[in-house]
Structure 1
C-alpha cells in the first residue's frame, strides 16, 4: 500500500447567513449519524440518506485514504520491502478478501494489493527470498506487512515453506461452514463454466444433486480442490505441528460478516499492534446484507462497498435432504477440526 504523510482531516466550512447556518447544522447533525454493528439502519434510511458506491476499486481507494490519513511517518523512518509478517492462509469463499481489505484500514498494517498472493509461491530463489520481497509493499518500522492466499491451509507443503521463510510469521485462517462454503464455490465454478460454455454438468439443480452424490462417494485422496477446501482439520493440524499455537488465529466467516469490529480487534491483539478499529469506519448496508466502509471525516454520508455482484451470486438450489447429506459428509472432519482447534462453531445444528 502506498504510504503518504498527508493529513486529510479537514473540516467542512460553510460561510452563510444565520438562517443558512442553522439549516446546515440541522442537515449535518443528521448526516453525521451512522450505523454501528449493533444498530444497522432500516432499509429506507439506507436508500434515502446514503450515497452507496458499489465499486471494489473505489472501496480500496477509500481504505487507502483512511489508512494514510491516520498514519504519520516517523522522522528519518524509511519505507522498505521485507518478507511478509502475516499471511492469511485461507479459506476461499469464506471472506479472505474482506478480511485483508478491512485489516488494511489500520495504519500499522500494509497489505499486498490485487493480486494478493505472491506469484511463484514462497520458495527461495538462489538461496534468498528476493523474488518474494520484491512483490511486497514497502512498510515502515512500526508496520506489519500482510498477504493472503486462499489455498495455503490445504497445501501440505506450505507450513514447512513458510516456517523456513519466516519462523516468526503470524498466520490467520478464516473458515466457513463447510457445506455452504462448497455450494458457494460450486456456484462460482458453474457461473464461470456457463460463461465459457465448456461444461454444463452442474448448471442446474438436478445436476447439483448428482454432483453432491458424486462428491460424497469419492475417496478422500481423489477429492476435487473445491471439496478439499471445505476440509479444515488436516490443514490446521499440519500448521500446529510446525508453528506455536499463539502464531495462529482462526476466524469464523459469519463473525467477520456480522461483527467486523470485534473480529478486527482480535486481529489487533493477535498481531500485537495498537487499538484502532472502531464502529465509525463501518456501516451496515441492508441492501447487500453486510458491512461497507465509511470515512468518518467526510462531509457526505457515503458508504464504499464491493461491486454490486460480490456476495450476491445466485446460490444454486440444493434440496434440504441433499444439504443434510452434504453436512453429514463433512461432520467427522468438522468434529475433528473443532477438537484440534479447541473450540466449536455453530455449524452442525
Structure 2
C-alpha cells in the first residue's frame, strides 16, 4: 500500500514516463499492471454507453471541512473495502428503479454503483472479481447495492445470483418496496422542487453541492388510456397477480 501511494505521488509530479511499471501478482497468480487495473472499471461505462438509464451519475460524497485532519476519518478510510452487493434492484423496467436507487443512495448506510453493471446478463464471463471491483468502497455495516432491471427478464439470473450469495436480497419495484431494514433517514429536507422539470430533485442537507436531478427521460407525463383498455389489462394480469401474492406471502390488493 505504501509503495502504491509513493508511486501515485511520483506520477502526479510528471515523472511517470521514467518510472518502471508497478506490478503485483493477484490471487490467481497472474502478473497485473497496477495502472491498467485502476482503469478496469471504465469497461462498465463503455459497455453501457448506449443505454440512457445505465449511465447513472455519481453523488459527491459529503465531507466536513475538518475531515482531512480527523484521525477517525482516516481510520475509516483505511477500513473501507469493496464488497459484492448484498441487495440488487432487478426490476421492473421503467418501473422507477432509477428513482428508487437514488433515494436509497441518500442513506448513509447504503453505498451503490450509479451505472448498471449488467454483470449477471452481459458480463458474467468476466468473473466475480471484475464485478466486485465495480462496487464502491464501503465500511463494515454499510449495505452495497446495484441495480440492473434487465435481470428481471433473463432466465439464468436467479441461479447465478444464488451461486454468488444465497443471502442477497432481490428488489422488484411493485408498490411499496421497503424491506432492507434501514433506519428512517430520508425526509422532506432531502428534496428540492425543480420548477423547470416539474418534480423534486434530491439534495443532501449537509452538502453545498447543487441538487441531484434524475435524467431527462424521467418524470415524463403518462398518456391517457381508455378505461376499457385498462380493464382488459386488469383482467389479463389478475391470475398472475394472484400467483405473485402466493409467492411473496403478501396480498397487495390490486384490482
Fold in common (TM above 0.5): yes
Q: What does 1:262-273 align with in structure 2 at a 5 Å threshold? A: 266-267=178-179, 270-271=180-181, 273=182
| Structural mapping, 1:254-293, within 5 Å | 255=176, 266-267=178-179, 270-271=180-181, 273-283=182-192, 290-293=199-202
SS of residue in 2 equivalent to 1:296: coil
Considering only aligned residues, what root-mean-square deviation do their CA atoms show, in Å? 3.4
Deviations 1:24-53 (A, max 9, x none): xxxxxxxxxxxxxxxxxxxxxxxxxxxxxx
Cα distance in 2 between the residues matched to 1:345 and 1:89: 19
> Is 1:64 the counterpart of 2:65 in the alignment?
no
- The structural deviation recorded for 1:322 is 2.1
Partner residue in 1 for 2:10: none
Q: Which residue number corresponds to residue 93 of structure 2?
A: 92
Asked if the contact 1:280–1:296 (Cα under 8 Å) also holds between the matched residues in 2, the reply is yes
Q: 1:339 aligns with which of 237, 243, 246?
A: 246
Task: Give the Cα–Cα distance (whole angstroms) in 2 for the partners of residues 90 and 337 of structure 1.
Answer: 15
| Ranges of 4+ aligned residues in structure 1 off by more than 6 Å | none
Q: Distance in 2 between matches of 1:294 and 1:171?
A: 26
Residues 318 and 120 of structure 1, relative CA distance in 2, 3 Å threshold: closer
Shift of 1:314: 5.5
Cα contact 1:64–1:105 (8 A) shared by 2: no
TM-score by length of 1: 0.47
Instruction: Tell me the secondary structure at the aligned position of residue 89 of structure 1.
Output: strand
Where structure 1 has 5 or more consecutive residues not aligned to the other structure, the ranges are: 1-55, 176-251, 256-262
Bigger share in helix: 1
1:75 aligns with 2:75: yes
Q: Whose relative contact order is higher, 1 or 2, with alpha carbons under 8 Å and at least 6 apart?
A: 1
Match of 1:325 in 2: 232
Ranges in structure 2 where 5+ consecutive residues have no aligned partner: 1-52
What is aligned with 1:132?
Answer: 131
Counterparts in 2 of 1:37-186, with a 5 A limit? Answer: 60=57, 63-66=59-62, 73=73, 75=75, 77-118=78-119, 121=122, 123=124, 129-175=128-174
Residues 90-140 of structure 1 show CA distances to partners (whole Å, capped at 9, x for unaligned) of 111111111111111122211112234337557465xx6222222222222
Indicate how the Cα distance of structure 1 residues 325 and 100 shifts in structure 2: closer, same or farther if over 3 A, else same.
same
1:303 is displaced (CA, Å) by: 4.7
Provide the aligned length of Structure 1 versus Structure 2.
194
- Compared with structure 1, are the counterparts of its residues 285 and 140 closer, same or farther at alpha carbon in structure 2 (3 Å cutoff)? same
Quote the residue 2:205 is aligned against.
Answer: 296
Counterparts of 2:133 and 2:220, CA distance in 1:
35
Match of 1:312 among 190, 206, 220: 220
Q: Post-superposition shift, 1:326?
A: 1.9
Q: Deviations over 1:266-300 (max 9, x none)?
A: 45xx24x5553333212456775654213424679
Is the 2:86–2:169 Cα contact (8 Å) retained in structure 1?
Answer: yes
